[in-house]
Chains A and B, each alone.
Chain A
Amino acid sequence: MSLDDLYRETILDHYSHPRNKGVLEGADITGEGANPLCGDEITISLMVRDGVVRDVRFEGKGCSISQASASMMTEQIKGRPIEEARALIAAFKAMMRGEPSNGDLGDLEALQGVRKFPVRVKCATLGWVTLEGALEELASR
């Protein structure tokens, strides 16, 4: 197992310079997620207009994988229709399970190496599961 597979340049960059970090004032929905085993926490706030994610922020404490994954996620979903965000969640989760995913994951493919470190997969998916829950809650309103 090589560390380079896990700590790719993109991941370390997002960890030390997280994008869209903070709390969104006047958010339409806020989701909270935690990994009780390791204590990682993520809060995601979204502004949604006409079915499109207009703005998104994340706030949290955790390891490089969980925080970088959430940071990359916010970049990818900002400005995209909710349906596309959902498809991206499905594609990302499929990638982390090692299943073939349809859809271009772009920079997110840097997280593929996490699969070789099974205990860290939950770190990578924390932000995504939290986003999924927030979108479900929004839809149920």
Chain B
Amino acid sequence: MGDEAGKRGGEAMGIPPTIREDFPILRQRVNGRPLVYLDSAATSQKPRQVIDALVRYYEEYNANVHRGVYSIAERATAEYEAARAKVARFIGAAGPEELLFTRNVTEALNLVAYAWGRPRVKAGDEILVTEMEHHSNLVPWQMLAEERGARLRHIPFDAQGRLVLDDLDHLLTARTRIVALTHVSNTFGTVNPVADIARAAHAVGAVVVVDGAQSAPHRPVNVRALDVDFFGFTGHKMLAPMGIGGLWGRRELLEAMGPFLGGGEMISDVWMDHATWNELPWKYEAGTPNVGDAIAFGVAVDYLERLGMDAVASHEREITEYAMERLGEVPGLRIFGPGPDERGGVVAFAIDGIHPHDIAQVLDTEGVCVRAGHHCAKPLHRKLGMGASARASFYVYTVKEEIDVLTRALLKTRELFRVAG
């Protein structure tokens, strides 16, 4: 029954393969083969609409924001703030003032560690993370724990790459100040039960910080429905340029916290010996912001909303299911993480007897781009007893024919390395 519902939904909301025409980069050939881009978890490709928005900004109204009284400065300011409102609405913020523009998720998470964490985390307090974090949602907490004399604890994962929550009641204590976790694992693809964990964390008075790098681009996200406190995400993984990301924070927390970087824009008034802070969200946006990329981020969000995030999620589920089925045909190939129903569009794998770098190298000659390495999740790979894995990841423009090319290229790789089996 579920299958039928899924198919009906897919037909009703499907993403037509013609959207590939919006992505100029996908037209090219690499090493004599059509480009098969399967590394969208690292960064997504950009549609013409986003590229045009950047060109329009730089050709028509490039000016600094919140300063000029002249027309193009007013237009730049209006477009910048309109982009903020769009991005804020996209993730379900209560208002645009809850959405801070950052460079990326790393900056967003460091902002929380620095501005919320430093003054509040004391010696003996605890910070709870998970064993599947990207380094960007682990290292800032290690640094904070080290500086404040706090204890870093972690929720482990099981053989299927799912968080083991049986001991959550013991891991969360009266001393837990922060729970930081990823919404969707960038290696296993696991979709973590963030709302459940947030409820338990709030019961002990901890704040919940979510790394949304791999969720916001791929599925509908509503930060208030998740009932978390901070949510970081990045534009370049969701059709926007590199260098622009977002941090959503609960208004009362953002108001209570001190600033992050000091400088222009973030002040209300300045004397020789002190200063007062600007209102939200500008209190956290010191210096000239990345105006052009923020505007393009807004256009990327428009593009995704036109497709519909439910359609995006169901398209990726279909591709992921197909990929897991086809990769299963490659002898000696092991897929990490849970089944397709519980994961985002990420499939990490290994082939017995062939190192992931060699896999990625051979695939490149077939025009296929996959990631090989530890995907900035070294503790995860160490637990699996591996230095590296190969990873294919998908997005709105991925089509099943590309999975077929990947499968054929993997079989060819095995032939080259003459792996028995």
A contact set with B: CB distance below 8 Å: 1-3, 6-7, 12, 15-16, 37-41, 61-65, 67, 117, 120, 123
Contact = CB atoms under 8 A, between A and B. Distances in A.
B373 A38 contact: yes
A64 B355 contact: yes
Nearest to A6: B361
A3 B416 CA distance: 10
A98 B358 CA distance: 22
A41 B417 contact: no
A12 B374 contact: no
A37 B135 CA distance: 13
Interface residues of B, number: 20
Contacts of B353: 16
A40 B378 CA distance: 12
A52 B317 CA distance: 61
A16 B358 contact: no
Counting chain B CB atoms within 10 Å of each CB, the highest count among A2, A6, A64 belongs to: A64
Given A7-B416, A64-B417, A39 B373 contact: yes
Contacts of B378: 39
Interface string B136-154: 0000000000000000000
A65 B360 CA distance: 13
Interface string B352-363: 011111100110
A13 to B, nearest CB: 10
Contacts of A2: 365
A38 B374 CA distance: 7
Given A62-B355, A62-B387, A63-B355, A16 B365 contact: no
A38 B417 contact: no
B373 A3 contact: no
A38 B388 contact: yes
Interface in B23-66: 31
Contacts of B373: 37-39
A1 B357 contact: no
B31 A39 contact: no
B361 A117 contact: yes
B418 interface: yes
Interface in B301-342: none
B381 interface: yes
Contacts, number: 51
A24 to B, nearest CB: 23
Contact of B387 (A3, A40, A64, A120): A40
A57 to B, nearest CB: 20
A1 B363 CA distance: 13
Given A38-B387, A39-B381, A16 B357 contact: no
Contacts of A3: 361-362, 365, 416
Given A12-B418, A15-B417, A39-B381, 17 more contacts: A1-B31, A2-B365, A3-B362, A3-B416, A7-B416, A12-B416, A38-B372, A38-B373, A38-B374, A38-B387, A38-B388, A39-B373, A40-B387, A64-B354, A65-B358, A117-B361, A123-B357
A58 to B, nearest CB: 16
B39 to A, nearest CB: 15
Contact of B358 (A1, A37, A39, A63): A63
A28 B255 CA distance: 62
Nearest to A7: B416
Nearest to A37: B373
15 contacts: A1-B365, A3-B362, A3-B365, A7-B358, A7-B416, A37-B373, A38-B357, A38-B387, A38-B388, A61-B387, A63-B355, A63-B357, A64-B354, A64-B355, A67-B355
Nearest to B420: A16
A120 B388 contact: no
Contacts of A123: 357
Nearest to B356: A63
Counting chain B CB atoms within 10 Å of each CB, the highest count among A39, A61, A123 belongs to: A39
A7 B357 CA distance: 12
B361 A39 contact: no
A120 B361 CA distance: 9
A123 B356 CA distance: 13
A84 to B, nearest CB: 31
A64 B416 CA distance: 12
Counting chain A CB atoms within 10 Å of each CB, the highest count among B362, B372, B381, B388 belongs to: B388
Contacts of B361: 3, 6, 117, 120
Interface in B79-105: none
Nearest to B378: A39
A6 B416 CA distance: 12
Contacts of B356: 63
A12 B31 contact: no
